[in-house]
Amino acid sequence: MDFGFILSSAAGELLSPTTAAYALAALGLAVHFGYSGLLNFGQAGFMAVGAYGFAISTLTFHVPFFVGLLIAVVCSAIFALLLGIPTLRLRADYLAIVTIAAAEIVRYIVTTNQLTSVTGSANGLAAFEGDFYAMNPFPEGSYFGMNNRDFFIRVVGWALVIVCCLLVWLLMRSPWGRVLKGIREDENAVRSLGKNVYSYKMQALVIGGVLGALAGMVFTLPRGAVQPANYGTELTFFLYTCLLLGGLGTVLGPVVGAMIFWVVLSLTQGVLYGLIESGAVTWLNTVQAGQLRYILVGIALMLLMIFRPQGVFGNKKELAFA
Amino acid sequence: MLKAVGALFAAVAALLLVVAPASQAATPSPTPSPSSTSFQNSISGFLRGDDRAPLAGVSITAKSGDFTGTTKSGPNGSWTIGVPTQGTYEVELDVKTLPQGIKLAEGQENPRKVSFSQTSNLSVIFAFGKGIVVQQQDFGQNLLNRLVAGLSFGLLLALASVGLSLIFGTTGLTNFAHGEMVTLGAVLVFGFNAMNLPFWLSIILALLGGGLFGYVQDAGLWKPLRRRGTGLVPMMIVSIGLALAVRYVIQFYFGGATQQLPFAQSAEIQVGPVSISPNNLWSLLISVVVIAVLGVVLLKTRLGKATRAVADNPALAAASGIDVDSVIRIVWVTGGMLASLGGILWAYYRPGVTFDMGSQILLLIFAGVTLGGLGTVWGALFGSIIVGIFVELTTVFGLAADLKYVGALFIMIVVLLFRPQGILGRRERVG
């Protein structure tokens, strides 16, 4: 078994664009769930809206990159408003069911054959990343063993993560953020102080949703393709695992959580495949090894929630639930 | 309590280690059919006459550029031409070699241009005689058929959602792992059947297995968590973790393929004005009987009264001498069995067994429960029937078949907008 290779590919996951996308989306969930107590189970839907909003406006309407970006962000904000209107007055579990249903509706709509000319149905869309790479300031060559395209997307993805973390941090220590945390702790107390709870929750939903849409774009750009199968409910659950790993009511928690999530997934895959190839493990095949990893994700989510709900960095007093 | 949870995980891990080798042997792999060509890509088809009889010895040619391939259809009417590259070919059927009295159907292009789309095999269909007759179905007839099919679907959803609703009512848990309880029923029937047990025994064992799963879940996980005073939202997230773990454990053993239960294929029969497949009819009857029995138990027996009392107010029920924990235990076992039965019926309705079949309808189950009102048994029944009928009827009124679940989810969101407590729910359950 080649431990050097296993370790280096796990270390590669640490800063991969997918990890950046997970970190951004989980940061959005931290705004929703960690800071405001909104149980959004539809973050995959927000990511899909972002990715498809960008891809469709680029491919169908031929808009420049930044206009496509703006359209995607606006679409996700509208999606958040549409979701928020019926559900923000309801109890947490209703919000959970409605958001998960809305995310699935988005996935069914982009999968349907009726809209193949726009969404590409199950095959998805591709070749929309040209404008993005055309802006690449790095000349061709090798950067830490990556080509200039891979390096560019990593720089952009992680710069976005840092900027968003900073924004969320500033927001949450502002008076606005304190009201939001107050709503999480006791909605009625905040209401009795004359704050419009509904409007604050709506703003939080929109901000977290926009972060989800940005994550959708970071997720889809390095792949050069967007496919509906990537945006199922399981994506949301993986994001919750990242969030809970790092810590709910923290800014850095989701980022570190996403890193841990991907490094551990990569390590277990490397070790399992290595053991299978070397013949030490005969009761598994490589397909089953892939499934075993997701079994471990599920068990990890349960154990985290039961034994350390505040995550690695979290503070137990800051939990969104008692 | 920590010990109990730890023991549960240890048991799961031990099970994984012990039974894993069997899974490779159990998954049958289809044997590749012998190919008559040395090329990787092929154009193929079946020639069948109007009466479905195979047409043998008919000559077919495929041309593209300077490549020409010719073949004759075999005794079963099948033909294959190997081609060097995927591209556009001109396929021609030599009409002179057709048997006496057989003619190509009207409008069948010959020769015709065909092109590959990303697969290595391209099938070409030639229709003969009258060709493909599009059956014009009467709209009213179609509506009635879909209505009955929808009722059958709704009732099987109700089996699962009544259990979910009972669990929610007595413990407050929104159980995202309920979809996996549905899958388990169908997978167990398939597994027991593959072990050559009689069909009826497989079903009984699968139902018992579903009940056992409910029992183990409650005893090993949910009861300790309740004892610990874990909140409802953390419990919901734990149920998501459980759902992921169980779904992939099932895939680990069962594989990713779609399998069929015995008797899954059946021709439609005519019952009065409705044409329905016998499986759907059985499913309808079984669901009605089971739900009726459940209703009688809930309304008439002491156990039913105790269950309703716990659902109404657990503290008060405990104070009046009801053993709340044992009632909840019974609810979990019943919920597991009902979900398994729902899963078996769902495997016949689709038809097919897959590892994610339960999570595919989980949201429809939730939609049924929320539509009717969380925590009410009759609401769950009523809501599920509405969802089932709605899903089937939207296709009659022109919604594409791949969007039929969207209608049901959408109607749920709309109902929540105007009547958040659901149709039969009580105001106090909201907000």
A298 contacts on B by Cβ (under 8 Å): 241-248
Query: Which residue is closest to A296 within chain B, CA to CA?
Result: B245
Q: How far is A299 from chain B (nearest CA, A)?
A: 6
DSSP B203-267: HHHHHHHHHHHHHHHIIIIIHHHHHHT--HHHHHHHHHHHHHHHHHHHHHHH-SS-B--TT----
Task: Spell B169-184 as b/e; 16+ CB within 10 A means b.
Answer: bbbbbbbbbbbbbbbb
Answer whether B412 sits within 8 Å of A101, measured CB to CB: yes
What is the Cα–Cα distance from B215 to A201, expressed in whole angstroms? 39
Mean pLDDT of A189-203: 93
What is the Cα–Cα distance from B16 to A274, expressed in whole angstroms? 19
At B59 the pLDDT is: 85
Query: Which residue is closest to A241 within chain B, CA to CA?
Result: B241
A100 contacts on B by Cβ (under 8 Å): 363, 366
Task: Name the strand (E) or helix (H) holding B389.
Answer: helix B377-396
Answer whether A111 sits within 8 Å of B402, measured CB to CB: yes
- Which pLDDT band holds residue B36 (cuts at 50, 70, 90)? very low
Mean pLDDT of B152-163: 94
CA distances to A6, A65, A166, A217, A274 from A108, rounded to whole Å, are 37, 26, 35, 19, 38
Confidence check: pLDDT of B25 > 50 = no
At A320 the pLDDT is: 60
What is the Cα–Cα distance from B398 to B387, expressed in whole angstroms? 17
- For A291, the closest of B5, B241, B251 (CB atoms) is B251
- The full length of chain A comes to 322
- How many C-alpha atoms does B365 have within 13 Å on its Cβ side? 33
Best mutation target, B164, B390, B395, B409, to test chain A (most A CBs within 10 A): B409
At B38 the pLDDT is: 61
Strand partners, B45: B79
- How many C-alpha atoms does B209 have within 13 Å on its Cβ side? 23
Q: pTM of the predicted model, to two decimals?
A: 0.81
Confidence check: pLDDT of B136 > 70 = no
Q: How far is A137 from chain B (nearest CA, A)?
A: 36
- For A306, the closest of B238, B406, B409 (CB atoms) is B238
Q: How far is B153 from chain A (nearest CA, A)?
A: 19
Q: Are B405 and A90 in contact (CB under 8 A)?
A: no
| Three-state SS at B290 | helix
Answer whether A295 sits within 8 Å of B405, measured CB to CB: no
Mean pLDDT of A110-114: 88
Mean pLDDT of B365-375: 86
Q: Name the burial class of residue B23, with classes exposed (0-12), middle (13-18) and buried (19+) by CB atoms within 10 angstroms of its CB.
A: middle
β B121-123/B41-46 pair status: parallel
Answer whether B417 sits within 8 Å of A86, measured CB to CB: yes
A85 contacts on B by Cβ (under 8 Å): 417
Answer whether B420 sits within 8 Å of A89, measured CB to CB: yes
- For B363, the closest of A90, A101, A302 (CB atoms) is A101
What is the Cα–Cα distance from B57 to B37, expressed in whole angstroms? 18
Q: Give tens-digit pLDDT for B244-261.
A: 999 999 999 998 899 998
What is the Cα–Cα distance from B355 to B340, expressed in whole angstroms? 14
At B22 the pLDDT is: 41
Answer whether A111 sits within 8 Å of B416, measured CB to CB: no
> What's chain B's average pLDDT?
83
At B140 the pLDDT is: 84
Query: Which residue is closest to B400 within chain A, CA to CA?
Result: A114
At B40 the pLDDT is: 75
B247 contacts on A by Cβ (under 8 Å): 294, 298
Answer whether A288 sits within 8 Å of B20, measured CB to CB: yes
Mean pLDDT of A122-150: 86
Q: Give tens-digit pLDDT for A140-154.
A: 888 887 888 889 999
Q: Give tens-digit pLDDT for A226-266.
A: 999 999 999 999 999 999 998 888 899 999 999 999 999 99
Query: Which residue is closest to B8 within chain A, CA to CA?
Result: A299
A184 contacts on B by Cβ (under 8 Å): none
Q: How far is A116 from chain B (nearest CA, A)?
A: 12
What is the Cα–Cα distance from A320 to B234, expressed in whole angstroms? 10
At B353 the pLDDT is: 94
A42 contacts on B by Cβ (under 8 Å): none
At A91 the pLDDT is: 74
B17 contacts on A by Cβ (under 8 Å): 283
